[in-house]
């Protein structure tokens, strides 16, 4: 994966496969501390301590269609190369919390990429899941909660083209 947005998509899709009904994505760019952090929290089925250890092994996966699980190991490697780290915490039956950090100006840090399109794809493909998006860049803060959007649109699904257009515009303005 060449961009961090692809990692976010992969991890959030893992949350959905784990039965999450709410996925929280927090992206913080802090120039003063030279830190980029990405957190993804969910209320899915969670993992045991053994599953957490195995999750960082590229030759372990719970998926039936392939025999390797490269998402977390690749993300951990990307963080290590950019002076950061990956922390994974989970409780069986309660959910999973992932936090990955990078030195913001590190030459080997992958670019964030097209985060707006990534989030729109997540919402469009998982319109029954609630997404809480938080983005902070120094003094700028943006939050979007699909539960609030649902309240305004009544029975119209989140993946309706006009709703997705609205979501894309809100994300584009907020993630500037």
The CATH number that applies at residue 41 is: 3.30.565.10
Is it the case that residue 68 has pLDDT exceeding 50?
A: no
pLDDT tens digits, 106-141: 999 999 999 999 999 999 999 999 999 999 998 899
Quote the percentage of the chain above a pLDDT of 90. Answer: 83
Q: What is the SS3 assignment for 48?
A: coil
Domain with 109 in it: 4-174
Arithmetic mean of pLDDT, 30-50: 96
CB burial of residue 56 (10 Å; 0-12, 13-18, 19+): middle
Backbone angles phi, psi at 16, to 5 degrees: -65, -45
Question: What total of structural domains would you count in the chain?
Answer: 1
Helix and strand element counts for the chain (H, E): 6, 6
Judge if pTM exceeds 0.85: yes
């Amino acid at each position: 994966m060449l961009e961090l947005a692809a990692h976010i998509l992969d991890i959030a899709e893992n949350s959905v496969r784990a039965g999450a009904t709410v996925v929280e994505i927090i992206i913080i760019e802090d120039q003063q501390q030279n830190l980029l952090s990405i957190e993804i929290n969910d209320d899915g089925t969670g993992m045991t301590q053994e599953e957490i250890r195995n999750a960082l092994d590229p030759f372990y996966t719970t998926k039936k269609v392939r025999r390797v699980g490269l998402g977390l190991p690749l993300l951990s490697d990307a963080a290590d190369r950019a002076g950061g780290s990956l922390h994974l915490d989970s409780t069986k039956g309660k959910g999973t919390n992932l936090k990955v950090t990078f030195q913001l100006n590190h030459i080997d840090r992958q670019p964030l990429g097209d985060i707006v399109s990534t989030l729109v794809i997540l919402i469009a493909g998982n319109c029954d899941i609630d997404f809480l998006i938080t983005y902070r860049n120094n003094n700028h803060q943006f939050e979007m909660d699909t539960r609030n959007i649902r309240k305004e649109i009544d029975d119209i699904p989140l993946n309706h083209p006009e709703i997705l257009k609205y979501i894309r515009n809100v994300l584009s303005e907020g993630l500037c």
